[in-house]
């Protein structure tokens, strides 16, 4: 399988930037800034927010009130001293000259910067996002069409397995337990560990993975890993129960608002179609 | 809809990093490095690759031979001087001490760095990716389960509208033409332009957008934008034809290897179709 080198161009390098306990300066407090604050909080950063209070969006105000991770200054950008100890800068201002000035200061100090609406002043862009626990998905059209990015995001949300985020979380827990039981970096054991985790993820579907609890994980390790085999969900029948949310037939939403409606609609369509088409199909 | 601030945690900041004509140092030439090279070439970067030739993976060798954007040095990392003029550093070495040393040098110089397999030495992680022209999608499980990231990537590939990448490309072209016709930043015109593009993306499905050609775009602008309306695909019936690949009912999957073949095939079909259909088009 040889890749076609000449087709590699026109894109960005998609990254998952690590911000845990790093300081991010956000200049501006409007609608765009409130979206930035959410993205940065998700990454466990510390935020310094600089914006005059009359310009604050209601969502930004809510963030300031509720998040202990935000230090708020009711003023305009004060100059280079605002950049001390800062790991990343995001500006969302209407003042183009001020935005460019902040960008230049960041570039001098090699601080990664994004200036909303001025692509040449951006070291990186944002994209449309789907988030479900530790699972994050970004859709970028590289500036060609934010609307299509949004449409594609909704399609992905609608087709993503319902409990994908929980499945990822549980597999992460199982992996940690396995590492505690069979520790060490690399080598034969590392390879066996990796193979076993891959086998579990392949043999189990997302819903079953999402339903794993403490007891089931220990059984998987005791009777699976230790005996060099992978138990199937049915092998844990005594312990296994359907995912609580699924049992109560409440679809736990991926996107906060849209998914439940979409899933409901799709189920309605499917049910109706089955009813109407079934007798004719034989 | 008020966001639940306390649920915002445990993730990364997903970004589309801009590397056009920026210099990226890659240390190591094995399997992992070859994947890094591909990702970085997609972003139109210039690469300096440092690795002894016996350690090169065949795909890395191919990249070195075929890409004019790679400067290759057949040696080990030489020290701080290797970091001069470098915008980003990616290492993929078996030597843990050497990796940590390179990371420390990068941190001193505020150069973003990723050290394969040593998370604390990474400013950012990579994820599973889907790419189709200017459309890029990244799936990150924040280190919890690379295998599930992979399974989710394949599900997204399988459910993504077939011509999504081409649709994004064509909408980008249409947007550029619209900006040429109605130039200026912001204001009422800017808003009208944005609304019109959103309406086009909503009224047209991906397959129809992907089939847009020069003539159809001009008609959309002349009889649509200029008359403050959005034509539907059927309104362009005289011009409109199904997407060539769709007409041949070939489902082209998006994965890296298959895509070039599919694009080649589509171009072949398109060329043939143009030849055969041209006289009928007046």
Q: Per-residue pLDDT for chain B (282 aa), expressed as one digit of tens each?
A: 556 888 889 899 999 999 999 999 999 999 999 999 999 999 999 999 999 999 999 999 999 999 999 999 999 999 999 999 999 999 999 898 999 999 999 999 999 999 998 889 999 999 999 999 899 999 999 989 999 999 999 999 999 988 999 999 999 999 999 999 998 766 788 889 999 999 999 999 999 999 999 999 999 999 999 999 999 998 987 765 555 555 444 444 444 444 444 445 555 555 555 455 554 433
pLDDT for the residue B145: 92
Give the span between the Cα atoms of B31 and B51, in whole angstroms: 12
Provide the token pair at A178: 């396995």
Is residue A110 within 8 angstroms of chain B, CB to CB?
Answer: yes
pLDDT at site B240: 56
By the CB < 8 Å criterion, does A278 face chain B? Answer: no
Q: Residues A133, B141: contact at Cβ < 8 Å? A: no
In Å, how far are A203, A250, A254, B59 from A246, measured between CA atoms?
Answer: 20, 6, 14, 45
Q: Which CATH architecture has domain A23-125?
A: 3-Layer(aba) Sandwich (3.40)
Model pLDDT, residue A132 = 92
In angstroms, the first-to-last Cα distance of chain B is 53
Q: Compute the nearest-CA separation of B239 from chain A (Å).
A: 23
Nearest to B212 by CA among B172, B246, B250, B240: B240
Distance from CA of A48 to the nearest CA of B (A): 16
CB–CB contact B140 A137 (8 Å): yes
Question: Which of these is catalytic: B31, B44, B108, B117?
Answer: B117
Specify the pLDDT at position A249: 42
Q: Looking at chain A from residue 215 to 254, which residues have their Cβ under 8 Å from any Cβ of chain B?
A: none
Inform me whether the C-beta atom of residue A166 falls under 8 Å from chain B C-beta atoms: no
Contact B30, B92 (CB under 8 A): yes
Over range A221-228, report the average pLDDT: 96
| Residue A59 token pair | 């969502």
In angstroms, the CA B57 to CA B269 distance is 35
Q: Is B16–A129 a contact, with Cβ atoms under 8 angstroms apart?
A: no
CATH class of B23-126: alpha beta
Backbone conformation region of residue A249, classed left if phi is above 0, alpha if psi is from -120 to 50, else beta: left
The two tokens of residue A94 are: 């209407």
In the numeric block, which tokens belong to residue B235?
């309104």
pLDDT at B122: 95
Q: What is the mean pLDDT of residues A114-135?
A: 93
For residue A41, the tally of other CB atoms under 10 A from its CB is: 26
Which CATH architecture best describes the domain B127-160? 2-Layer Sandwich (3.30)
User: Could A14 and B13 be called an inter-chain contact, meaning their C-beta atoms sit closer than 8 Å?
Assistant: no
DSSP SS3 for B73: strand
The pLDDT > 70 percentage for chain A reads 83
Report the C-alpha gap between B155 and B157 in whole angstroms: 5
Would you say residue A260 has pLDDT above 50? no
For chain A, the average pLDDT equals 87
Other beta carbons within 10 Å of A221: 18
**Catalytic annotation, pick one of A31, A44, A108, A117:** A117
Strand order in the sheet with A13-17: A124-125, B13-17, A13-17, B124-125
Residue ranges per structural domain of chain B: 23-126, 127-160, 164-240, 250-282
Residue-level pLDDT at B191: 86
- Distances in Å between the Cα of B46 and the Cα atoms of B19, B24, B29, B67 are 8, 6, 16, 10
Nearest to A17 among B15, B134, B175 (CB): B15
- Long-range (24+ apart) CB contacts under 8 A made by A247-254 are A251/A162, A252/A162, A252/A163, A252/A166, A254/A130, A254/A132, A254/A157, A254/A160, A254/A162, A254/A164, A254/A165
pLDDT of residue A281: 40
Contact A138 B134 (CB under 8 A): no
A218, pLDDT greater than 90: yes
A17/B18 CB distance under 8 A: no
Contacts of A63 in chain B (CB under 8 A): 5
Buried b (16+ CB within 10 A) or exposed e, A159-177: ebbbbbbbbbbbbbebbeb
Separation of alpha carbons A59 and A35, rounded Å: 9
DSSP string covering B1-21: ----GGG--S--EEEEE--TT
A1, A11, A201 ranked by CB distance to B145: nearest: A201
Active site residue A117: yes
Measured N-to-C along each axis, helices A258-281 and A146-159 cross at an angle, to the nearest 10 degrees, of 60
A198 lies within 8 A of chain B by CB = yes
Q: How far is B260 from chain A (nearest CA, A)?
A: 7
Contact yes or no for B136 and A140 at CB 8 A: yes
**A201 with A244: CB under 8 angstroms?**
no
Q: What is the mean pLDDT of residues A57-63?
A: 98
Q: Do A134 and B11 touch (CB under 8 A)?
A: yes
Does residue B197 contact residue A145 with C-beta atoms inside 8 Å?
Answer: yes
A4 and chain B: CB distance < 8 Å anywhere? yes
Contact of A263 with chain B, judged by CB distance below 8 Å, is answered with: no
Q: Which of B131, B137, B163, B259 is best to mutate for the A interface (most A CBs within 10 A)?
A: B137
Residues B23, B85 contacting (CB under 8 angstroms): yes
Higher pLDDT, A237 or A132: A132
């Amino acid at each position: 399988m040889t890749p076609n080198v000449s087709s590699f161009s026109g894109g960005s390098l998609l990254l998952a930037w690590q911000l845990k306990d790093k300081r991010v300066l956000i200049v501006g407090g409007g609608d765009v800034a409130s979206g930035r604050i959410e993205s940065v909080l998700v990454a466990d950063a510390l935020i310094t927010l600089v914006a005059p209070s009359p310009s604050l969006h209601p969502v930004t105000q809510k963030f300031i009130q509720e998040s202990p991770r935000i230090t708020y200054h009711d003023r305009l950008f004060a100059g280079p001293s605002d950049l001390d100890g800062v790991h990343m800068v995001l500006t969302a201002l209407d003042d183009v000259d001020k935005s460019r000035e902040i960008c230049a200061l960041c570039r001098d100090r090699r601080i990664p910067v994004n200036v909303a609406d001025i692509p040449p002043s951006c070291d990186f862009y944002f994209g449309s996002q789907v988030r479900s626990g530790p699972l994050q998905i970004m859709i970028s059209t590289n500036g060609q069409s934010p609307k299509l990015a949004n449409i594609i995001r909704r399609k992905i949300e609608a087709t993503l397995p319902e409990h994908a985020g929980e499945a990822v979380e549980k597999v992460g827990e199982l992996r940690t337990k396995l590492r505690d039981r069979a520790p060490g970096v690399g080598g034969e054991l590392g390879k066996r560990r990796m193979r076993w985790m891959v086998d579990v993820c392949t043999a189990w579907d997302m819903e079953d993975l999402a339903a794993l609890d403490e007891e089931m994980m220990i059984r998987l390790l005791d009777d699976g890993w230790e005996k060099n085999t992978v138990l199937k969900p049915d092998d844990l029948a005594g312990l296994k129960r359907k995912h609580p949310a699924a049992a109560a037939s409440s679809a736990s939403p991926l996107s906060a608002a849209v998914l439940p409606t979409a899933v409901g609609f799709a189920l309605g369509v499917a049910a109706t179609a089955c009813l109407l088409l079934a007798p004719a199909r034989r």
